[in-house]
A and B are shown apart, each in its own frame.
Chain A
């Protein structure tokens, strides 16, 4: 078994263990995915905390005299400005890309979760055989298989969509409710954690700005085309992330408004 297969098998076993505790409840697999997402959020809590710290440091940097000085001094020399910015980042121990880190760190988790959902639902004989062989002996699999893939109006092993009164060729599964919610919640979460900026040439701010556009589109595309179980993960993970930022008092709600991505001082 390759390391990656082992990683996915761990996910499958955790997912099925949670499912086994809930299997008598309708929609147990959907609930298992939600609980599993909460578990992952708890495990990555320190990472998110570090990201919040970094975002706050970036915010504070906007009011730093040295920072403001180099913005003015090298306004016309972008290369020098970038060098100076990196120097200050280094001096203050700030990683300018760390606001993207929690999103990026999710990617191997997304891959593994997607595979664990499809493996658990075993839609072909070979997939069923592989599933029977990847589950630990602590689970009574004979009782669990096949998993109930229904959750609310969704089949968690398939892309979600609500039937439309007329057929649209580029929306074969109907209106993609979950994909829209995934894109919206990803946008909100990314915006809330994006540090404000005064400098249009600030590369890290520009990267964060781009992430706030591309990540919702990317995750929305995933939700549109892949198992709805993955979309459930995205939504719950995003909502938990937003809740975490709000609870810690770090959510930058003004970022959600047009032109809100600027520090208060700059608006005066």
Chain B
């Protein structure tokens, strides 16, 4: 081959590689997902799911799929204690994993019929699984059906379904990134009504059985009647709301991307208190021993006594915190993103670090 031809070929190959490196496939890298049962924490972190023993933070097992799956949604637990977790890679696979099995028998069921990424955590009600997919379909499975084909229904709702559905009485409520909140009859899976909000809903909502409370990129929290989807009230806030609110004793607790944290009366949407911690708040708060625990993008874990506006800083990490913390026994689990040292940290209620987990451990 002539030298100039070789140079040209190499240059073009280099350019092809550059584009691959610059862009690659649509980005699947994002912050990890987290869930815990009585024994272990399960961290979905890219191509690997880590199972970590709660008592000491030791690795129990790792899982990665042969189909090069990418995981970042929070795993869900089935009634028999198995994990359900979907892939955000182009295999579009939803896996059921048995945490007690050996590595060779870890996968107990796989569904590959979806057409897009799994971002949302499935909702498990007994043997029935409601799994929203970014292809706009809600896939319904009955895990009691033997064999691989457990799909009992596919409900096309449209948009990208990124958040976990909520069951409120007879209503199955499915928020969508395309601004819609869908209200389905849980028995027939027929859509009863839908309501369009002013912005995208990436993080889902919460219900007390009568109302569904959800925030959106419209910088508002909305209470919707679960029977017909009618908004009972719409409460403007300072910035876009990402995570689902926490509902405790008639008060909603949530943050926004502008770095504000709110305590809001669920009855009328009145802001009872608001304050600015140290950064944007994407993750949903959790309730731990009567205190509201929430995390900020700047890496701080806060604990707040309901009714007060001066949260206590439990821990300050040199990483970003986007994943919702998880309460596991006496521990608070947080999953730092872009941390140099740890993938998972366990704190006690006073903020003292019980253990940290990194893949090398």
**A interface residues, Cβ below 8 angstroms from B:** 107, 110-111, 114-115, 118, 121, 123-129, 132, 141-143, 145-146, 157-158, 203, 206-207, 210-211, 214-215, 218, 221-222, 226-227
With the chains together, A127 CA to B202 CA distance in Å? 12
CB nearest to A123 among chain B residues: B26
CB nearest to B28 among chain A residues: A124
With the chains together, A111 CA to B24 CA distance in Å? 10
Chain B residues positioned under 8 Å from A118 (CB to CB):
23, 26-27
Contact flags B111-140 to A (C-beta < 8 A → 1, else 0):
000000101000000000000001000000
> Which one of B23, B160, B177 has the greatest number of beta carbons of chain A within 10 Å?
B23
A226 touches B162 (CB 8 A): no
Chain B residues positioned under 8 Å from A132 (CB to CB):
217, 240, 257
Chain B residues positioned under 8 Å from A221 (CB to CB):
16
A115/B22 contact (C-beta < 8 A), A125-B202, A218-B15 known: yes
CB distance from B168 to the nearest CB of A (A): 25
A111 touches B19 (CB 8 A): yes
B12 touches A125 (CB 8 A): no
Within 8 Å of chain A (Cβ to Cβ): is B66?
Answer: no
> Which one of A127, A128, A210 has the greatest number of beta carbons of chain B within 10 Å?
A128
B199 touches A111 (CB 8 A): no
A123/B200 contact (C-beta < 8 A), A142-B219, A146-B177, A214-B12 known: no
* Residue in A110, A123, A142, A210 whose CB lies within 8 Å of B240: A142
Chain B residues positioned under 8 Å from A124 (CB to CB):
26-30, 72, 88, 117, 119
With the chains together, A221 CA to B202 CA distance in Å? 34
CB nearest to A218 among chain B residues: B12
Chain A residues positioned under 8 Å from B216 (CB to CB):
142
Contact flags B49-76 to A (C-beta < 8 A → 1, else 0):
0000000000000000000000010000
With the chains together, A104 CA to B198 CA distance in Å? 43
CB distance from B180 to the nearest CB of A (A): 11
Within 8 Å of chain A (Cβ to Cβ): is B322?
Answer: yes
Chain B residues positioned under 8 Å from A145 (CB to CB):
177, 199-200, 217
With the chains together, A11 CA to B260 CA distance in Å? 31
B199 touches A110 (CB 8 A): no
* Residue in B15, B29, B117 whose CB lies within 8 Å of A107: B15
CB distance from B121 to the nearest CB of A (A): 12
What is the count of residue pairs linking A and B with beta-carbon distances less than 8 angstroms?
95
Main secondary structure of the interface of B (DSSP, over half): loop
**B interface residues, Cβ below 8 angstroms from A:** 2, 4-5, 8-9, 12, 15-16, 18-19, 22-23, 26-31, 72, 88, 117, 119, 134, 159-160, 162, 177-178, 198-200, 202, 216-219, 240, 257, 282, 322
With the chains together, A123 CA to B23 CA distance in Å? 13
A115 touches B200 (CB 8 A): no
CB distance from B101 to the nearest CB of A (A): 29
Chain A residues positioned under 8 Å from B18 (CB to CB):
111
A210 touches B134 (CB 8 A): no
With the chains together, A141 CA to B29 CA distance in Å? 23
* Residue in B22, B218, B282 whose CB lies within 8 Å of A142: B218
B218 touches A123 (CB 8 A): no
* Residue in B9, B26, B31 whose CB lies within 8 Å of A125: B31
A207 touches B4 (CB 8 A): yes
* Residue in B16, B72, B282 whose CB lies within 8 Å of A129: B282
With the chains together, A266 CA to B217 CA distance in Å? 67
Chain B residues positioned under 8 Å from A127 (CB to CB):
26-27, 30
CB nearest to A107 among chain B residues: B15
A142 touches B198 (CB 8 A): yes
A123 touches B22 (CB 8 A): no
B26 touches A146 (CB 8 A): no
Chain A residues positioned under 8 Å from B27 (CB to CB):
118, 123-124, 126-127
CB distance from A113 to the nearest CB of B (A): 10
CB nearest to B159 among chain A residues: A146
A214 touches B9 (CB 8 A): yes
With the chains together, A132 CA to B30 CA distance in Å? 15
* Besides A110-B19, A115-B22, 9 new A-B residue pairs in contact (Cβ under 8 A), listed by A number: A111-B19, A121-B26, A123-B134, A124-B30, A125-B162, A126-B31, A127-B30, A218-B15, A226-B19
CB distance from A67 to the nearest CB of B (A): 20
CB nearest to B88 among chain A residues: A124
23 contacts between A and B (CB under 8 A): A114-B22, A123-B27, A123-B117, A124-B29, A124-B30, A124-B88, A124-B117, A125-B202, A126-B29, A128-B200, A132-B257, A141-B217, A142-B217, A142-B218, A142-B219, A146-B178, A157-B26, A206-B5, A211-B8, A214-B8, A218-B12, A218-B16, A222-B16
A146 touches B200 (CB 8 A): yes
With the chains together, A121 CA to B177 CA distance in Å? 12
CB nearest to A221 among chain B residues: B16
Chain A residues positioned under 8 Å from B88 (CB to CB):
124
Chain B residues positioned under 8 Å from A214 (CB to CB):
8-9, 12
A126/B240 contact (C-beta < 8 A), A111-B19, A218-B16 known: no
CB nearest to B176 among chain A residues: A146
Nearest first, the 10 closest Cβ-Cβ pairs linking A and B are A126-B30, A142-B199, A124-B30, A123-B26, A142-B217, A114-B23, A127-B27, A145-B200, A146-B177, A125-B30
With the chains together, A215 CA to B216 CA distance in Å? 45
With the chains together, A145 CA to B160 CA distance in Å? 11
With the chains together, A91 CA to B269 CA distance in Å? 79
> Which one of B26, B72, B200, B216 has the greatest number of beta carbons of chain A within 10 Å?
B26
